Amino acid sequence: MTFKPAHLLVVLLATALPALAQNLAVVNGKAIPSSRVDAMVKQLTAQGQQDSPQLRAMVKQELINREVLMQEAEKSGVASNPEVKNQLEIARQSLLIRALMIEHVKKNPVTDAEIQAEYDKAKAQAGDKEYHAYHILVDKEDEAKAIISKLKAGAKFEELAKQSKDAGSASKGGDLDWASPAAWDPAFSQAMTALQKGQFTETPVKTQFGFHIIKLDDVRAAKFPTLEEVKPQIVDGLQQQRVQIYQQALVKKAKVQ
């Protein structure tokens, strides 16, 4: 069977079109696969950008630019530079490790029961009350006792708080805003929750930060977020725990000399 020139052209086009469709472009004879566009667009949309023809056109040009520069880099021999080799290996390791961890999380998904248990645990730790407290923080116990004596003599807490070593609250009269007891050092929380509204601690409260004089301004019912509001954070935290346990198990099993 013989083909006429027109028929031959049709056959050649039919053969070439599928190959062309698989490539974004061909730069100096080297093809850039179209799948690379989808991969980069996926990364960009994960960062908040909107998939659009304009974005894809930008990505296409970026990939062409990269291919041109890569070809020049290979010609120049920079890939043989020891420092470049080390950086490439580190980047390769990072990419493969990330892929391994993503795959591990996929194979070991977080269950609804685990999410609920973590939420219940956090809610129990937070308690059902929030406290609005003020404090003055100093380095030495004698300093704290001297401040307490001044408070008993009628000095204003907000004025004395200006000498607090906690710069963040000192400028606000010692105001620590509303928080649950779980947000503070255990010794601080225990002393704070034992106070009545308007009272201050009459003995210095020691924590890792120094000595505190604490004043309780008010107490209210805690406003804990719903499960749906914090579910993404809980899932992320549980996934990180899985990854850490997996990593530790692999390192423990490895033979290191």
Q: What is the pLDDT of the chain when averaged over all its residues?
A: 91
Lowest mean pLDDT segment, chosen from 28-42, 90-104, 199-213: 28-42
pLDDT category of residue 193 using cuts at 50, 70 and 90: very high
Question: What's the mean pLDDT in 141-161?
Answer: 97
- pLDDT at position 7: 53
**Burial 232-248, CB ≥16 within 10 A → b, else e:** eebbeebbeebbeeeee
- pLDDT at position 11: 43
- pLDDT at position 178: 94
Question: What's the mean pLDDT in 157-184?
Answer: 94
- pLDDT at position 166: 96
Encode pLDDT of 97-120 as tens digits.
999 999 999 999 999 999 999 999
pLDDT category of residue 17 using cuts at 50, 70 and 90: very low
**Under a CB-based contact definition with an 8 Å cutoff, are residues 123 and 113 in contact?**
no
Kindly report the backbone phi and psi dihedral angles of residue 223, in degrees, each rounded to the nearest multiple of 5, phi listed first.
-110, 90
pLDDT category of residue 21 using cuts at 50, 70 and 90: low
State whether the Cα torsion 174-179-180-184 is positive or negative: negative
Is 257 or 213 the better-scoring residue by pLDDT?
213
Of 186, 175, 188, 189, residue with least CA distance to 130: 189
Using CA atoms, how far apart are residues 206 and 33, in angstroms rounded to an integer? 64
Q: Could you give the C-alpha distances from 54 to 32, 51, 125, in angstroms and in order?
A: 19, 8, 49
Question: What's the mean pLDDT in 182-190?
Answer: 94
- pLDDT at position 84: 94
- Write out the two tokens for 32: 């850039």
How is residue 80 annotated by DSSP? G
- pLDDT at position 24: 87
Using CA atoms, how far apart are residues 118 and 124, in angstroms rounded to an integer? 10
| pLDDT(181) > 50 | yes
- pLDDT at position 71: 95
Residue 134 bridge partners (DSSP): 175, 215
Encode pLDDT of 84-99 as tens digits.
999 999 999 999 999 9
User: pTM of this prediction?
Assistant: 0.62
- pLDDT at position 8: 45
Those residues whose C-beta lies under 8 Å from the C-beta of residue 176, and which sit 6 or more positions away, are: 132, 133, 134, 135, 169
pLDDT category of residue 207 using cuts at 50, 70 and 90: very high
| pLDDT(18) > 70 | no
Is 5 or 219 the better-scoring residue by pLDDT?
219
What is the arrangement of strands in the sheet containing 205-207, beginning at the earlier edge strand?
Answer: 175-179, 129-138, 210-221, 205-207
With tokens 């031959």, the residue in question is: 8
- pLDDT at position 73: 93
